[in-house]
Chains A and B, each alone.
Chain A
């Protein structure tokens, strides 16, 4: 009995001691929070170099996109200490800055000689600044992203399809440059038999729960002439959000959904879009650029079979694309801010950024993306560059969540459920957004 007791005590002491040692060794480990997606895996790989250089271990908290905002905004709102570093969505910047969730990085950037001029301007405005277009930085641009399109180059190059298309529409079947062309191509492929399979025109964003349909519809609306507000009078939305051009844009998006998407695609976002393209269901596929490295490597649809094109032009020749991507910030509730800043300093380094791109992340550093070799470094690199040059983003106001929920509802009700008209939807949106800004005391 005594020996059993001794053994138990010995084991308990050993376990306690080893736990204490391990706790001490990992006391400075940093936790980085982000979405669970392909670039996150690349970041895990990249961060091993940081640990090698500094001895600071990295832990990661990745949450699926559908839960990403709710999970991490809850964490920030409750002043949680889970995340030392966070790669937060671009639209969170206003709320996170005003509510003190992120630490301001201006002094740190000055001290470490990190200049925002070294980064792609759109990403600085989109991911780092609050208020927008002022030199107040709350994040370092980390992951450039933008909505663009992929298409089945192998289908487009089939001689019999090219011939039939030319006869029907009078122009050569190729990646579209206007939305009219895009719709014609989508109609052409809809329910067509290719290699013994029924295929469909295009996969577009229709998701209702988080931000999907807004990201998709805005991608079209911008190029049709939609504007969030009067450029001369902030928050004045009447005649801008619901302008005639905006109405036409939303009608186009609904027409595209009705005519040319796969059956049952009423709740599609990034994952569903990738599935539709990978499974050979669709000829074209709207998605954020982060999906492209994975698709390029895909055995069935990647390689020579895939092509990329920038979001097409609207009827008046305007061309914009919905900005995605995120900046990396230090959480103000973290006890390890010094180490977290070391990570940011390391991440801003040119060599690290170059490796980031090579691993599948999208660098925002000019030195990387303006390198002469960059456009030919990947088949999608030029499309990414061209897309990043025409980005627009959703509201980044502290009330962005309410603004987003309103557009999700209005767009889904009209585009997917077919309730009311495009004008009704946009008039309703002006009403909803006005209410939000009035509640915020901004109107």
Chain B
């Protein structure tokens, strides 16, 4: 009886599709299916990358199509690494990345920990907290510019109300000292919910029985936090830091909308410098070299970080 059923099933099963398409093996068919994706990737990712690498060794300028392209060897790289303005832009970027990640991680984790308490209305508050993340950066940049406006901005009036300083003296985007913080505040406001979500996923993944066992052992809340909550949520926190770190290293839109890199060059992060060199000064070869240096830096740092993340996970 069983044998007869198996025969029937075998007969009913269609031949592999590949055999029906003459001359194409299963492997060939697989390649056929993935080739559009590969071609697209080659066209929009791999080719531009190799083209940029090639251009980085030349004096090519996109606004001089008729000019002879000369090979400069490593000259562009040498000039970038010796350019004081580039190093200042890198320092500005590092300052921005460090503070945004620190604030977003601390506030994001705290919010996640509070939301995880499951108090009354926690779902509603979770939604409210997530709103900034759902907005377009262009919208966020523009409305914060109005909020920071010294004469009519709400932010200036709140600061004035709290400190007694006249609102027109609270020049968040014009003051050299305050402008970098103005951007850090906006980025933190917008992306802390994202860090919170990842941390919340981490906190919710901790099995309840571990806490029950800790309570049986009479571990204090503080002890439970340091010995269970934080270590077990750490891989998630590190993941959030990785995502935000990569994103903020190439931060462009918010800075461009809020300060355009000013006042002076105080908020000119690396991506703004890159854009200026590439599309305003039209130094295509030079900016390609800078882009490659940035790519290698982010790629290298991310790799080191991922290795550390894996080690934490394995513990």
Contact = CB atoms under 8 A, between A and B. Distances in A.
Note whether A and B form a binding pair.
yes
Given A70-B280, A77-B63, A402-B281, A263 B264 contact: no
B63 A416 contact: no
Contacts of B262: 208, 266-267, 412, 416-417
Contact of A266 (B168, B169, B173): B173
B126 interface: no
Nearest to A92: B63
Nearest to B171: A264
Residue among B63, B85, B151, B176 having the largest count of chain A Cβ atoms under 10 Å: B63
B83 to A, nearest CB: 11
B265 A77 contact: no
Contacts of B65: 77, 79, 99
A64 interface: no
B141 interface: no
A413 B265 contact: yes
Interface string A400-432: 011011000100111011110000000000000
B238 to A, nearest CB: 36
A402 B276 CA distance: 9
A99 B260 contact: no
A302 interface: no
A277 to B, nearest CB: 15
Contact of A417 (B168, B264, B276, B283): B264
A134 B149 CA distance: 48
B192 interface: no
A100 B281 CA distance: 19
Contact of A208 (B149, B168, B260): B260
B257 to A, nearest CB: 11
A196 to B, nearest CB: 15
Contacts of B85: 409
Contacts of A265: 174
A398 B263 CA distance: 28
B224 interface: no
B111 to A, nearest CB: 32
A369 B219 CA distance: 90
A300 B265 CA distance: 37
A209 interface: yes
Contact of A402 (B149, B169, B264, B282): B282
Interface in A203-258: 208-209
A264 B63 contact: no
A95 interface: yes
A282 to B, nearest CB: 12
B64 interface: yes
A214 to B, nearest CB: 12
B248 interface: no
B149 A417 contact: no
Given A73-B63, A208-B262, A267-B260, A417 B176 contact: yes
Contact of A263 (B66, B171, B263): B171
A99 B263 CA distance: 34
Contacts of B260: 208-209, 267
Interface residues of A, number: 34
A439 interface: yes
Contact of B279 (A70, A99, A263, A404): A70
B235 interface: no
Contacts of B264: 208, 412-414, 416-419
B151 to A, nearest CB: 6
B266 interface: yes
A100 B171 CA distance: 46
Contacts of A100: 66
B59 interface: yes
B158 to A, nearest CB: 16
Contact of A405 (B66, B168, B276): B276
Interface string B235-274: 0000000000000000000000001111111100000000
Residue among A69, A262, A264, A266 having the largest count of chain B Cβ atoms under 10 Å: A264
B81 interface: no
Contacts of B168: 198, 263-264
A269 to B, nearest CB: 11
Contacts of A209: 260-261
B282 A263 contact: no
A262 B150 CA distance: 9
A443 to B, nearest CB: 16
B143 to A, nearest CB: 16
A119 B172 CA distance: 47
B149 A439 contact: no
A302 to B, nearest CB: 22
Given A263-B169, A265-B174, A417 B266 contact: yes
B270 to A, nearest CB: 15
Nearest to A95: B63
A401 B279 CA distance: 9
B63 A405 contact: no
Contact of A398 (B59, B64, B259): B64
Contacts of B308: none
A68 to B, nearest CB: 12
B64 A99 contact: yes
Contacts of A208: 260-264
Given A99-B66, A398-B64, A439-B59, A405 B281 contact: yes
Contacts of B150: 263-264
A362 B190 CA distance: 46
Contacts of B59: 439
Nearest to B272: A209
Contacts of A281: 151
Contacts of B176: 417-419
Contacts of A417: 176, 262-266
B46 interface: no
A70 B62 CA distance: 12
Contacts of A98: 66
23 contacts: A73-B282, A99-B66, A100-B66, A208-B260, A208-B264, A263-B169, A263-B171, A264-B148, A264-B168, A264-B171, A264-B174, A266-B174, A267-B174, A281-B151, A401-B63, A401-B282, A402-B281, A402-B282, A409-B85, A412-B263, A413-B264, A417-B262, A417-B263
Given A70-B280, A267-B259, A398-B63, 19 more contacts: A74-B279, A77-B62, A98-B66, A99-B63, A99-B65, A99-B66, A198-B168, A208-B262, A263-B150, A266-B263, A267-B260, A267-B262, A401-B282, A405-B280, A412-B263, A412-B264, A413-B264, A417-B262, A417-B263
Closest 3 CB pairs of A and B: A417-B264, A266-B174, A413-B264
